[in-house]
Amino acid sequence: MATVAGGKVVIFGAGGPVGAATITALKEHYTLRCTDAVALDQIVAEERRQSVTAPLPELLDAPHERTVVDVTSYDQVRAACEGMDAAINLTVLRHVLDKAFAVNTVGAYNVAKAAADAGLRRLIHTGPFHTRMGHHADHWLDHQVPDDVPLHPGDDLYALSKYLGGHITRVFAEERGLEVLTFLFCGFRPRQITPVKGGGVGPFTVSWEDSGESFLYGLRAGDMPSPYEVFFIAADTPDRKYRVDKARRLLGWQAKDTFEALYRRPAG
């Protein structure tokens, strides 16, 4: 049984906004080992926000832990997995050639290998779903695109290097008995809809808060139909561009924030 209803969870990339939301969602249910390439204390002290509305991570007291881990180092990743029940990989580096493959591809290899070597029950891997790649093989023209659709990253550095990491993680799931859930994200926005933000909501958007809660459902979910399952993590919007029912069926999760005020005409 790969369900992780309690115990210890290591988070890689905990210093980013999804990491911050995940810490908030999991802290009362698991003992967390929060890791990032930069010390979380430094991220908070320097207010290193990804964007103006992006959350910063909470600095949790013991028994939670926080430590610096560079996912490009297998030894560091393996040590961070020691004694854990599950791992969540939120690491990403988007547009810098010198680090993109190291973090997004090699980092995925190190995390999957360490999770398998350490006997973890479940790994939640993450990546982007790019809605518009600017070539004819992307899925921008389609509707009701399902979670399991093959990604076509084109030559985009970020999309391609993460795509490779996803395939590596799939191979570990299929060959090493590690159960992997891959959560795909696209757009994020805060739960609170402010007048300044306004202006509609694009397809494939989720609130920071809902993104964090999706990991709670991912850890607690029952056995999956196959060792590697991919989920769109997004609000269910009436444009019918992307199907988000798989997360509801297999994880029991759906976004609470649907941003209806942004696509419904005001009454009267």
Partner 1 sequence: MKLAITGADQPMGALLCQRLAAHHEVIPVGAAVDPGEDGVDAASYCHANLNLPPAAAAAIRGTDMIVHAQPHDPAPASGTGAEGELLERISRGTYVLLQAAMAAHVGRLILISQMRLFQDIPEQYIVTETWQPRPRPEAASLAPFMAELVCREIARTGRIEVVNLRMGTLGAADGTSGDDAVAAVQRALVLEMSEGYHWQEQHVVSGGRFLPQGA
Binding site for partner 1 (CB under 8 A): 72-75, 97, 100-102, 105-106, 109-110, 112-113, 116, 135-137, 152-155, 157, 160-161, 163-164, 167-168, 171-172, 175-176
Contact call for residues 183 and 218 (beta carbons, < 8 A): yes
In DSSP notation, 62-100 reads TTSEEEE--TT-HHHHHHHHTT-SEEEE-----S-HHHH
Q: Which is nearer to partner 1, 30 or 101 (CB)?
A: 101
Shortest distance, position 136 Cβ to partner 1, whole Å: 7
Q: Which is nearer to partner 1, 154 or 202 (CB)?
A: 154
Query: What region, left, alpha or beta, does residue 7 occupy, with left being phi > 0 and alpha being psi -120 to 50 degrees?
Result: left
Shortest distance, position 238 Cβ to partner 1, whole Å: 31
Q: Which is nearer to partner 1, 166 or 218 (CB)?
A: 166
Q: What is the largest CA-CA distance in the chain?
A: 62
Shortest distance, position 232 Cβ to partner 1, whole Å: 20
Contact call for residues 66 and 23 (beta carbons, < 8 A): no
Shortest distance, position 53 Cβ to partner 1, whole Å: 32
Distance (Å, whole) CA 215 – CA 166: 17
Q: Which is nearer to partner 1, 177 or 222 (CB)?
A: 177
Distance (Å, whole) CA 229 – CA 222: 12
Shortest distance, position 171 Cβ to partner 1, whole Å: 5
Q: Which is nearer to partner 1, 2 or 56 (CB)?
A: 2
Distance (Å, whole) CA 74 – CA 66: 18
Contact call for residues 81 and 8 (beta carbons, < 8 A): no
